[in-house]
Amino acid sequence: PEDCAVFQCRGCWAVLGDSLHLCAQEERRLGLLACFKVTKDVAWEDSLMVGLEGALLGCAYNALSCRSCGLIVGFILYSAPRDLAYLRGFFCFFKDSILCYLLKKQKIIEASKVNFPAVTLKE
């Protein structure tokens, strides 16, 4: 496939997931990629956190981190307002916490600079 990419931790380059499991992109508020499957290098906290400010205000979520270096790379939403509810239960990576290795081009690029084909769970 033309647009296949591997998602890597910005801190240590551990492989966290790939674009074959990409199921949503959210650009406006959070700048994230949502996947339905991740690698064993992704760990999540058992305890829920609650957003007290910013884009996750009022949301309950589990933080995602890189198992290799400990960098916080995203979250799994447990509860959210209606406009973010479609992301509940998915592995959401912050674009500014990951890098993308583009398989066809054999090139590493900032996740925020990659445009994947449109996928959305809202419909």
Assess if residue 122 is contained within a domain.
no
Q: Is 91 contained in some domain?
A: yes
Q: What is the pLDDT of residue 123?
A: 46
**Distance between CA atoms of residues 106 and 10, nearest Å:** 17
DSSP β-ladder status, 32-35 and 42-44: unpaired
Structural domain boundaries, residue 56: 5-113
**pLDDT for position 74:** 95
Q: Does residue 60 form part of some domain?
A: yes
The percent of residues above 70 in pLDDT, for the chain, comes to 91
Assess if residue 118 is contained within a domain.
no
Decide if 80 is inside a domain: yes
pLDDT tens digits for range 19-57: 888 887 776 778 899 999 999 999 998 899 999 888 888
- So what's the pLDDT on residue 28? 72
pLDDT given for residue 114 in this prediction: 78
Tokens of 10: 């910005």
What are the pLDDT digits (tens) for 47-105?
999 998 888 888 999 999 999 999 999 999 999 888 888 889 999 999 999 999 988 88
